[in-house]
Structure 1
Amino acid sequence: MESYKLGSSEVLSSRLIYGCMRVVGDNSNKSRKKGKQALLTAIEQGYNHFDHADIYGGGECEILFAEVLKELSYDRNKIIITSKCGVRKKDNPYKNDPARYDLSKKYIIKSVEGSLKRLNTEYIDLLLLHRPDYLLHAEEVSGAFLELLNSGKVLNFGVSNFSPSQVSMLQSYCEQPLLVNQVEINIHNITSLTDGTLDQCQQLKITPQAWCPLGGVAYPAWGNTFTVEDEMRIKSEFDFQAKKYNTENWIIMLAWLLKHPAKILPIIGTTTPSRIKDAKQALDIHYSREDWYRLLEARQGYAVP
């Protein structure tokens, strides 16, 4: 699979990232077996970048991933492990504690140490702050990054779901460049195209990663407010383009994201082996500028001015 450098670093990521959020499912033996097969397929298909978070599956997703690597005796240096921290669930650690964000230095370091143990690895290639903490102290975060870097526990840093102003503020305090901003991008949610996120990524050499890249195509996107008429119009254009490129609608969605000059890296989260494999078709589509704008027009319901 083709690869791209992450941000301003020399770290080479596969153009498609495999998202591990669903690999344990309901954590039954059947679900874990399915998740293992999904991970094996991703590795076989050339995905070298795996996206985790401390909260995925209550930590079980990281544990399952470590089990797969151990069973394969896979070379740790051949893969990129991303993990995220900062989201705390309700009743954690005490009953009646609210759901909240926590990007304090103490909690960042504690989260990383937990992920390292579950992943059975000495280092995390890329640590992302999962969501912006309204009580974030940038100097404290910078101190956490520096301590983790100097200890060798984390090699690179980035953010997730941060606005351009939040990225700028945090970067102004950090010695280490922020390599990634992971945000929701799909046909229903194009906020990153209009709020300056993708512009900033190009300006500062930050790699945008798209979570939920198939929202509105394979399944409903978060906060969907589209009408039935909207959905029919969008689907009609997807159908037309899928026929033109001899592929499926969801592959066109990936091609639409890949066309953007910010070099978006979509996160593929399916646990179906055939779809993990078929997602690579998007890399071979010579998607035109005209079709990109046709899909945008179908999404908006009107032509660009």
Structure 2
Amino acid sequence: MEKVTIGKSSLESTRLVYGCMRIAGDNSPEARKRGREALKAAYDAGYNHFDHADIYGAGACEEVFAEAVEEFGFEREKLIVTSKCGIHFEDSPNAGDPKRYDFSRDHILRSVEGSLKRLKLDSLDLFLLHRPDYLMDAAATAATLQELVDSGMVRNCGVSNFSPSQFRMLQSFYGQPLVANQVEINIHNVDTLKDGTLDQCQELGVAPMAWCPIGGVAYPAWGNTFSPEDEARIKKEVDRQAAKYGVEDWVLILAWILKLPARVLPIIGSTTPERIRAALQSLDLEYSREDWYLMLEARDGNAVP
């Protein structure tokens, strides 16, 4: 599979990243077994980058990954393991606590320690701050990231869901390059094309990772605002192009995202081995500029100005 360098790091990631959010399922033995089999399918298909977060499956997804590495003998030196932290759910740790974001030193260090323990790893190849904490003291947060790197717990740091200004602020206090920004990119949510996020990624050599890349086609996107008329118009164009290129609709949309010059790394979250393998078809499509703009026109309901 095609590989790209993650920002200004030495990490060479496959262009498609395998997302581990669903691999624990309902955490039953059967679901965990399916999760391990999905991981094996991804590894065998050539994926080398696996994306986690401390909250996925309340930590169980990281445990399932460690089980798969041991069961199937994945070679650690060939893997890029990413995890994230910063989200507290409501009633945690105390009843009545709100859902919130937390970049305090204690929370970050405790979270990374927990992830490493569950993953059975000595270090994370890439650590991301999951969602911007509005109470972030950028200098203190940058110092915590540096502490993680200096301790060997983390090799590289980045962010997730940061706006360009939030990214710039944190980077101004952090002495090393932030190498990635994991953001939502799909046919429904094209904010990163317009708010400067992908421009900044190109400018600074930051790797954009796309979560929910097939939202709005394979399933409703997060916070769906499409009307039935929007959905019908988009589906007509997606179906036309999918037939033209001889792929499924969701594979076509992956190709639409891969066309972006910031060299986006879509995160594939399916636990179905056939779909994990089928996603690779998107890398081989000679997707045209004209079809890219026709898709945008269908999405917007009008041509570009």
The alignment's TM-score, normalised by the length of structure 2, stands at 0.99
Q: Residue in 2 aligned with 1:91?
A: 91
Q: Residue in 1 aligned with 2:269?
A: 269
Q: Residue in 2 aligned with 1:280?
A: 280
Q: Residue in 2 aligned with 1:256?
A: 256
Return the alpha-carbon distance in structure 2 between the equivalents of residues 56 and 24 of structure 1: 8
Q: Residue in 2 aligned with 1:82?
A: 82
After superposition, residues 34-113 of structure 1 pair within 5 angstroms as: 34-113=34-113
Task: State the shift of 1:70 in Å.
Answer: 1.0
- Segments of 5+ residues of structure 2 without an aligned counterpart are none
Q: Which string of whole-angstrom CA distances, capped at 9 and with x for unpartnered residues, describes residues 46-77 of structure 1? A: 00000000000000000000011011232211
Q: Residue in 1 aligned with 2:168?
A: 168
- Segments of 5+ residues of structure 1 without an aligned counterpart are none
Displaced runs of 4 or more, over 6 A: none
Which secondary structure state, in structure 1, belongs to the residue aligned with residue 246 of structure 2? Answer: coil
Task: State the shift of 1:106 in Å.
Answer: 1.3
Task: State the shift of 1:89 in Å.
Answer: 1.2
Which secondary structure state, in structure 2, belongs to the residue aligned with residue 262 of structure 1? Answer: coil
Q: Residue in 2 aligned with 1:192?
A: 192
Q: Residue in 1 aligned with 2:182?
A: 182
Q: Residue in 2 aligned with 1:303?
A: 303
Which secondary structure state, in structure 2, belongs to the residue aligned with residue 154 of structure 1? Answer: coil
Q: Does residue 142 in structure 1 map to residue 142 in structure 2?
A: yes
Return the alpha-carbon distance in structure 1 between the equivalents of residues 300 and 219 of structure 2: 19
Return the alpha-carbon distance in structure 1 between the equivalents of residues 202 and 81 of structure 2: 23
Return the alpha-carbon distance in structure 2 between the equivalents of residues 119 and 284 of structure 1: 33
Paired AA for residue 304 in structure 2: V
Paired AA for residue 64 in structure 1: V
Q: CA RMSD in A?
A: 0.7
Aligned length: 305
Q: Which stretch has the larger CA shift, 140-149 or 213-222?
A: 140-149
Return the alpha-carbon distance in structure 1 between the equivalents of residues 254 and 279 of structure 2: 8
Return the alpha-carbon distance in structure 2 between the equivalents of residues 41 and 124 of structure 1: 22
Paired AA for residue 177 in structure 2: P
Identity %: 61
Q: Which string of whole-angstrom CA distances, capped at 9 and with x for unpartnered residues, describes residues 87-143 of structure 1? A: 011122222222110001111111000000000000000000000000001111111
Which secondary structure state, in structure 1, belongs to the residue aligned with residue 179 of structure 2? Answer: strand
Which secondary structure state, in structure 2, belongs to the residue aligned with residue 7 of structure 1? Answer: coil
Q: Residue in 1 aligned with 2:10?
A: 10
